[in-house]
């Protein structure tokens, strides 16, 4: 028998037992490497190459039995709980249109349906892609993110709430679309751990400046938070994390002072309206007082029959309109449902033992939690009102697509969480 036939026949018999196509190649490569190591050991003991090859293959055991064991371990899993939560929250996203009468308007309803379908297809499509293949393309994702930001900053054809955007009806591409692209890039960079400090500083600074130039302080802050959390997670050392945190706080304080002294009259008025709404009740403080009143009179079951004016009722302040029209009980239920999504992400990270996968989940959790916390915090008067959408619920392309990408990648990580090493069975 030829030398290659011995190993090739064995590998084919093993992989024939494995149903998952994406696992066949990985198992074959790992087994081939292991056989070579054992073969070299026998050659050093004095056996001829062919005999050493046969001995190494024999040492692997029964190919049929080994293949069956590997097939059980390499079964892709679907996180049906996360899928159910995704479908539920996408459907809930239609509710804000009902009391506002937008369901009767074909433009709003059709656009929302397109957003939901695209989001669902994107999430399920990403689930089927092996996330580990993304690990080698960090630079590609970084360049794509920079191209998107460059196009938005220098070739915009639309403005959304003072933020530069590119509109391709019915879709509006904002700088937020680049955030999940950079999420994949930073996960790859931090996993490989090849970036030097000056390289990290340069890459982050260039992207930070473009995010800021796009006009969205909100997106810039969300992006910065994501990078910070992923960086701290990848380092692991408490001492280094404390150093990074201290430096980040100092930079944030300096940036805060610069921002404060660079505020124009309108921006200063809006900030003072948040800090002292009663003193600015006829100007910037009116919205805060109005929201407080709407929440207080919502009651447990809402005011479905009333038609109250709520600014941004289906976009940034969608949680206010849902609370007012459907009541406190519904608002609590919505918070619990969104919390379940976060809790599920946290549960998955405990089950995944892959560093790259964990980085993706940590970054995704950060993006999701920051959006939810800030948006609901605006409703409760804890934060100034700025352009932060409620994931999946707010009307628009970005609230659905950004978070669908996050869920899809996390589903991909979960799907492959049980893929085990061949060495554990030999």
The predicted-structure confidence for 191-244, as pLDDT tens digits, reads as follows 988 788 888 889 998 999 999 888 778 888 899 999 999 988 887 667 777 877
Provide the pLDDT for residue 421: 47
- With tokens 């062919």, the residue in question is 50
Provide the pLDDT for residue 35: 85
What mean pLDDT is predicted for residues 111-140? 91
What mean pLDDT is predicted for residues 172-200? 88
Is the pLDDT at 284 greater than 90, yes or no? no
Provide the pLDDT for residue 102: 66
Is the pLDDT at 121 greater than 70, yes or no? yes
Q: Which residues pair with 159 in a beta bridge?
A: 164
* Helix, coil or strand: residue 148: helix
Provide the pLDDT for residue 332: 94
Provide the pLDDT for residue 339: 95
- Cα–Cα distance for residue pair 70/74, rounded to 1 Å: 6
Assess contact for 136 and 188: CB atoms under 8 A. yes
Provide the pLDDT for residue 203: 92
Q: What stretch of H or E contains 76?
A: none
Q: Which tens digit of pLDDT belongs to each residue from 67-118? A: 878 777 777 788 999 999 999 999 999 988 887 776 556 777 888 899 999 9
Q: What is the mean pLDDT of the chain?
A: 84
- Cα–Cα distance for residue pair 23/76, rounded to 1 Å: 9
Structure token digits, residue 418:
């049980």
Whether a cis peptide bond, with omega within 30° of 0, leads into 170 is: yes
- Cα–Cα distance for residue pair 229/241, rounded to 1 Å: 10
Provide the pLDDT for residue 229: 92
SS3 content of the chain, % helix, strand, coil (to 5): 75, 5, 25
**What is this structure's pTM?**
0.83
Is the pLDDT at 424 greater than 60, yes or no? no
Is the pLDDT at 423 greater than 60, yes or no? no
- Cα–Cα distance for residue pair 147/182, rounded to 1 Å: 11
Provide the pLDDT for residue 213: 85
- Cα–Cα distance for residue pair 150/166, rounded to 1 Å: 11
The size of the chain, in residues, is 426
At residue 422 the predicted structure's pLDDT band, cuts being 50, 70 and 90, is very low
Is the pLDDT at 39 greater than 90, yes or no? no
- Cα–Cα distance for residue pair 246/260, rounded to 1 Å: 21
Angle between helices 106-128 and 397-415 (to 10 degrees): 20
Provide the pLDDT for residue 392: 93
Provide the pLDDT for residue 307: 74
- Cα–Cα distance for residue pair 217/262, rounded to 1 Å: 14
Q: Which residues pair with 360 in a beta bridge?
A: none
Q: What is the percent of the chain with per-residue pLDDT over 70, rounded to a whole number? A: 92
Assess contact for 404 and 82: CB atoms under 8 A. no
At residue 164 the predicted structure's pLDDT band, cuts being 50, 70 and 90, is confident
Is the pLDDT at 25 greater than 80, yes or no? no
Q: Which of the listed ranges 1-10, 57-66, 318-327 does the model predict with the highest average pLDDT?
A: 318-327
């Amino acid at each position: 028998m030829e030398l290659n036939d011995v190993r090739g026949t064995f590998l084919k018999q093993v992989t024939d037992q494995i149903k998952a196509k994406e696992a066949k190649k990985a198992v074959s490569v790992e087994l081939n490497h292991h056989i070579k190591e054992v073969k070299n050991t026998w050659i050093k003991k004095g056996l001829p190459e062919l005999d050493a090859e046969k001995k190494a293959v024999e040492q692997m055991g029964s190919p049929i039995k080994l293949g069956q064991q590997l097939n059980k371990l390499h079964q892709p899993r679907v996180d049906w709980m996360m899928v159910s939560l995704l479908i539920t929250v996408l459907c809930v996203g239609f509710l804000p249109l009902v009391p506002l009468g937008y369901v009767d308007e074909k433009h709003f309803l059709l656009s929302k349906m397109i957003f939901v379908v695209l989001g669902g297809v994107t999430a399920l499509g990403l689930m089927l892609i092996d996330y580990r293949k993304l690990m080698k393309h960090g630079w590609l994702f970084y360049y794509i993110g920079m191209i998107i930001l460059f196009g938005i900053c220098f070739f915009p054809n639309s403005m959304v709430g003072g933020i530069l955007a590119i509109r391709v009806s019915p879709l509006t591409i904002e700088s937020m679309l680049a955030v999940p692209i950079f999420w994949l890039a930073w996960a790859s960079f931090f996993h490989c751990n090849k970036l030097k400090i000056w390289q990290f500083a340069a890459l982050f600074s260039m992207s930070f400046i473009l995010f800021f130039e796009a006009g969205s302080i909100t997106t810039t802050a969300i992006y910065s938070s994501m990078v910070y959390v992923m960086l701290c997670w990848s380092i692991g050392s408490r001492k280094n994390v404390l150093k990074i945190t201290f430096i980040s706080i100092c930079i944030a304080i300096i940036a805060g002072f610069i921002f404060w002294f660079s505020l124009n009259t309108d921006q200063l008025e809006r900030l003072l309206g948040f800090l002292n709404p009663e003193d600015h009740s006829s100007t910037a403080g009116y919205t805060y007082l109005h929201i407080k009143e709407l929440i207080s009179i919502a009651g447990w079951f809402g005011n479905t029959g009333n038609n109250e004016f709520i600014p941004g009722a289906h976009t940034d302040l969608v949680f206010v309109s849902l609370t007012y029209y459907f009541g406190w009980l519904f608002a609590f239920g919505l918070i619990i449902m969104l919390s379940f999504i976060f809790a599920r992400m946290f549960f998955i990270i405990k089950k995944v033992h892959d560093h790259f996968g964990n980085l993706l989940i940590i970054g995704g959790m950060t993006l999701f939690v920051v959006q939810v916390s800030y948006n609901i915090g605006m409703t409760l008067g804890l934060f100034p009102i700025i352009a932060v959408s409620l994931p999946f619920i707010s009307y628009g392309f970005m609230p659905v697509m950004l978070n669908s990408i996050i869920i899809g990648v996390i589903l991909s990580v979960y799907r492959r969480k049980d893929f085990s090493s061949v060495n554990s069975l030999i």
